[in-house]
Structure 1
């Protein structure tokens, strides 16, 4: 079971995943939009598409980072420090600009469920922020000296999906009420954004402090 991270890492990553999953963003907006405009089946299909995109990101990152650990440990260290700085930037963005949530208007012609799924895949894969996030976030939870680092990255990616699925299901079921709440309540938006910022600041500080001691 070398591929399973320590329980503390699993729990910390789960908390971060929950905060990310409930923070308004393109994936959440699309899921809510499809559920409101075309029904729950489209919301679930869109969520499944987003999870597929996350799986692809996880595989690419895990394979790439594994190679980097073996071939260039110094580059991996630079990536971790750069990732910590990127997390601080995300925290600043959350506080100063907010997450924002825009629900798209209903199209004249309803898409098929398959089209909603593919749209979910596309909005996830083509979002550069998602690519940067997975490239900089997942490596924070592995040790470059760990021979099972690659497998642990896959485990954490799978954990991200498992934790996100029930939250996505709740989002689709509560789409109309949740959309109204996020759009109208400034307090809720601020609470989510500050939570988002706090989690990433904590992770960034942990990484920068740990690397400074080495």
Structure 2
């Protein structure tokens, strides 16, 4: 077996952990569901692809030790928390005032491009310090620090995380399409979902601001 591939028990244990994390609601899932309902499945999938791209970046940062520097430096970590929270609050504001939330009865007047939905997915993922903490504290637990192939194995596990996460993301987008078909032309549902997602984004912003670095 190549050096960069962890042992089978490690692969299976990490797959289980990654699956649990992938199905746990978070800003990424909320964005994918929101964009899919509002603008269509292509935008939901683009947001998911953006989140997966963010995971690639986090994996690279962990493999090269940069995330440790970010979390170890209080000013940098504080800046990351504030940026992430502000970004989520901006999405919450758009959800109820600027057509950035859920409009089931008609297309939004200023719909983003698929590329913009992708970039939003990247931004949500990269600006979430909870993700930084997860990859810095959780991912390395599956690789021995003294392993000469540690960096390569971290990349393998990062790729495994993406592979495990994709099915749940796709199901989220498909579920969004079902919601559109079921509740189209129902304005109270539209309004309820708009405010619900605004509340979700706001709650995640508050959670991000309370994230504490682990030493």
Q: TM-score range by the shorter chain?
A: 0.5 to 0.7
Name 1:125's counterpart in structure 2. 126
Consecutive unaligned residues of structure 1, counting only runs of 5 or more, are 69-78, 80-101, 184-214
Number of residue pairs the alignment of both structures matches:
147
Distance 2:133 2:28 in 1: 16
Name 1:143's counterpart in structure 2. 144
Greater fraction of residues in helix = 1
CA contact (8 A) 2:41 2:177 kept: no
Distance 1:178 1:4 in 2: 40
Q: Which runs of 4+ in 1 moved over 4 A?
A: 176-180
Name 1:33's counterpart in structure 2. 34
**Deviation for aligned residue 1:115:** 0.4
Distance 1:175 1:135 in 2: 32
Q: How does 1:62-73 map to 2 (within 5 A)?
A: 62-64=63-65
For normalisation by structure 2, the TM-score amounts to 0.63
For normalisation by structure 1, the TM-score amounts to 0.63
1:48 aligns to 2:49 (yes or no): yes
**Deviation for aligned residue 1:175:** 2.2
CA contact (8 A) 2:37 2:179 kept: no
Task: Say what the alpha-carbon RMSD is for the aligned residues.
Answer: 2.5
Name 1:5's counterpart in structure 2. 6
Distance 2:169 2:179 in 1: 12
CA contact (8 A) 1:31 1:44 kept: yes
